[in-house]
Amino acid sequence: MTSILTNNAAMSALQTLRSINDSMEETQSRVSSGLRVGTASDNAAYWSIATTMRSDNMALSAVEDALGLGAAKVDTAYAAMESAIEVVKEIKAKVVAATEQGVDKAKIHEEILQLQKQLKSIAEAASFSGENWIAGDAEMKSVVSGFVRSSDGTVAVTTTEYELTDTADGTLLFGGDGAGGIDDTTGIVGTTATFTNAGPFSIYTLDITTFTGVDVPANMAEALKLVEDGLQAMTSAAAALGSISMRVGLQEDFVSKLTDSIDSGIGRLVDADMNEESTRLKALQTQQQLGIQSLSIANTSSENILQLFRQ
């Protein structure tokens, strides 16, 4: 039946054209944004997962920055400890030289005194971002090392810890005074040892000119032992700092790779395949043109009825 009131062909063509236009709008959005899932309405599950993963990636980025800061602190402490070891080696050499009979111990002591002052200068200068890991109060230091999301959804920040101790075999060159300053009577360099009829002395206060009489050989042996024990403790502390530096470096590499992996995972969930979308867009543009043509034909069919009433 042909009707001038109801054009079923035109309505069908119009519905088809609307569907094509909706598909084109969706495809154009994907092409312009590069995302297959841009909002929760596109795919609620994938959008939720991707949003959480992006949040975790931001946290990992902050962890990477914190690792860089921590690495700088550790490297500063290690460099300072390494320099202090070289100074103590020099003190050890001077003590050995002073054991020779007939040498001018006063001249050698002048050199040792300058080396002792250098140890204090190194300890005071080894600060990064307000933290000094080789001089100050004994405490636990920590470096942020990771961000963890457990299977139940809880999150936590993990740390790598390093204990600062101010004993003779500890990790600090000098201890702290409890007020942010340095106490030169504690720590590897500041802790004193007993001497036969002399002292007590620490590496920082050692004075070989006070050794006199029959006790000189014993005192020189005690001085050498004091310096050697301190050197061993400093070497152990430097090794511990080196191990932490290595671990922080490995963690930095891991966090960087983990960030890239999460980015890749997010892309697999929500990124649009541009080859597919461009092909689809081209096909939809052709369908749109055909739809417009079909609607035009459907509309002109009603006009043909006028031919029936012409004379």
The pLDDT tens digits for 150-161 are 877 788 888 888
Q: What was the pLDDT predicted at 36?
A: 82
pLDDT, average across residues 209-217: 89
Q: Is residue 64 included in any domain, yes or no?
A: yes
Instruction: Report yes or no on 146 lying in a domain.
Output: yes
Q: Which of 26-30, 58-62, 165-169, 270-274 has the lowest mean pLDDT?
A: 26-30
Q: Is residue 165 part of a domain?
A: yes
Classify residue 58: in a domain, yes or no: yes
Q: How far apart are CA 161 and CA 132, in angstroms?
A: 15
Distance between start and end Cα atoms, the chain: 23
Q: State whether the Cα torsion 105-107-110-112 is positive or negative.
A: negative
pLDDT over threshold 70, residue 1:
no
Cβ(251)–Cβ(116) below 8 Å: no
What tens digit of pLDDT does each residue of 80-111 get?
A: 999 999 999 999 999 999 888 878 889 999 99
Is the pLDDT assigned to residue 15 strictly greater than 80?
Answer: yes
Tally of CB atoms within 10 A around 85? 16
CATH code at position 264: 1.20.1330.10
Range of the domain at 102: 44-270
Residue 294 lies in a domain: no
Tell me the range of 45-49, 81-85, 273-277, 301-305 where mean pLDDT is highest.
81-85
Q: How confident is the model at residue 302 (pLDDT cuts 50, 70, 90)?
A: low
The predicted structure's pLDDT at residue 91: 95
| Whether pLDDT at 309 is above 70 | no
**Amino acid 292: pLDDT:** 81
Distance CA 198, CA 218 (A): 10
Look at residue 311 and tell me whether its pLDDT is greater than 60. no
Secondary element (H or E) of residue 128: strand 127-128
- Cα–Cα distance for residue pair 181/249, rounded to 1 Å: 31
- Cα 155 to Cα 56, 110, 148, 259: the distances in Å are 9, 58, 6, 16
252 within a domain of the structure (yes/no): yes
Number of domains in the chain: 1
CB count within 10 Å of CB 126 equals 23
pLDDT exceeds cutoff 90 at 16: no
Task: Tell me how many degrees the CA angle 171-196-228 measures, rounded to the nearest 5.
Answer: 30
Least confident of 2-16, 211-225, 288-302: 2-16
Is residue 6 in a domain?
no
Q: Which residues contact 144 (CB under 8 A, 6 or more apart)?
A: 63, 66, 67, 70, 157, 158, 159
Average pLDDT, the chain: 87
Half-sphere exposure of 55 (CA within 13 A, CB side): 10
242 pLDDT more than 60: yes
pLDDT at 27 over 90: no
Residue 200, pLDDT above cutoff 60:
yes
Mean pLDDT to the nearest integer, 229-257: 91
**Residue 75 dihedral angles phi and psi, to the nearest 5°:** -65, -35
**Residues ≥6 apart with Cβ < 8 Å to 25:** none
Contacts of 205 (CB under 8 A, 6+ apart): 116, 192
Q: Is residue 205 part of a domain?
A: yes
pLDDT of the residue at 231: 95
Q: How far apart are CA 273 and CA 52, in angstroms?
A: 22
What pLDDT digit, counting tens, does each position of 36-82 carry? 888 888 889 989 989 988 888 888 888 888 888 889 999 999 999 99
pLDDT value of position 288: 82
